[in-house]
Chain A
Amino acid sequence: QSALTQPASVSGSPGQSITISCTGTSSDVGGYNYVSWYQQHPGKAPKLMIYDVTNRPSGVSHRFSGSKSGNTASLTISGLQAEDEADYYCSSYTSSSTRVVFGGGTKLTVL
């Protein structure tokens, strides 16, 4: 069982917006602004999409945005495109001995 809880799957049609949630505790998501999001296409390495809750690395589309409220972080993808279909993982620093924890991943399907 993953330390952070994500929905197993979400879906949306091209052009729509979707939001993926990531729920933790005050020891991780709620206690620090060190939430990041990764995109992983099948058979590929993960790619950083969001760091420090809201920041986008250079080269990542403005359609991707992050936010946080309490113990839950969210990734929103607007203007869905076919290429956004992938698995998405959230991650957070944790004050436990593990240092970094991931969510179980969410499979995004673009209908």
Chain B
Amino acid sequence: EVQLVESGGGLVQPGRSLRLSCTASGFTFGDYAMNWVRQAPGKGLEWVGFIRSKTYGGTTEYAASVKGRFTISRDDSKSVAYLQMNSLKTEDTAMYYCAREQGMYYDIFTGLMVDPNFFDNWGQGTLVTVSS
């Protein structure tokens, strides 16, 4: 059974840092890209960023709202993805979910290697509250 378990959330002051972890089990972690998606209280979903599998370079991409402040990394030997959050703002207050994405594939229509752009398994989330 696929399981994703987030940890590391809590109360943090504006301007401080926090690191979230997403521990995976039940599948070959290294074969998948890992995403972070957040949801502010009572609000909708917002994609935060992702890291591709090392097969595809382990490259990262981020939403404009967090670029330069957040960093995603992975340790395939431990089946863990991380979200390092620096210079936190009150508007970063949210439930943070990690979500699995399958690896890139060859799109016969475009002739390109593409990311699937959908998330087939999600963790239960960890709550981050940024407040003084």
**A92 to chain B: closest CB distance in Å?**
8
**B70 to chain A: closest CB distance in Å?**
13
Total count of chain A residues near the partner, CB < 8 A: 26
Given contacts A89-B45, A99-B47, A105-B44, contact A48 B119 (CB under 8 A): yes
A32 to B118, CA, bound (A): 13
Does A41 lie at the interface of the complex (its beta carbon under 8 Å from any beta carbon of B)?
no
Does A79 lie at the interface of the complex (its beta carbon under 8 Å from any beta carbon of B)?
no
Task: Give residues 4-26 of B contacting A (CB, 8 Å).
Answer: none
The answer to whether B124 and A45 touch across the interface, beta carbons within 8 angstroms, is yes
A89 to B63, CA, bound (A): 18
A41 to B50, CA, bound (A): 24
Given contacts A48-B120, A91-B118, contact A101 B47 (CB under 8 A): yes
A51 to B116, CA, bound (A): 9
The answer to whether A48 and B125 touch across the interface, beta carbons within 8 angstroms, is no
The answer to whether B97 and A103 touch across the interface, beta carbons within 8 angstroms, is no
The answer to whether A38 and B117 touch across the interface, beta carbons within 8 angstroms, is no
Choose among B37, B46, B117, B121 the residue that contacts A34 (Cβ–Cβ < 8 A): B117
Q: SS class of chain B's interface: helix, strand, loop or mixed?
A: loop
The answer to whether A105 and B45 touch across the interface, beta carbons within 8 angstroms, is yes
Given contacts A36-B117, A46-B97, A93-B117, contact A103 B44 (CB under 8 A): yes
The answer to whether B45 and A38 touch across the interface, beta carbons within 8 angstroms, is yes
Most chain A CB neighbours (cut-off 10 Å) among B50, B117, B120, B123 = B117
The answer to whether A98 and B118 touch across the interface, beta carbons within 8 angstroms, is no
A98 to B66, CA, bound (A): 10
Does A104 lie at the interface of the complex (its beta carbon under 8 Å from any beta carbon of B)?
yes
A97 to B120, CA, bound (A): 22
Does A102 lie at the interface of the complex (its beta carbon under 8 Å from any beta carbon of B)?
yes
Does B61 lie at the interface of the complex (its beta carbon under 8 Å from any beta carbon of A)?
yes
Chain A residues with a Cβ under 8 A of chain B = 2, 32, 34, 36, 38, 44-48, 51-52, 57, 89, 91-93, 97-105
Chain B residues with a Cβ under 8 A of chain A = 35, 37, 44-47, 50, 61, 63-64, 67, 97, 99, 115-125
4 smallest beta-carbon distances between A and B, as pairs: A36-B118, A51-B118, A45-B122, A100-B47
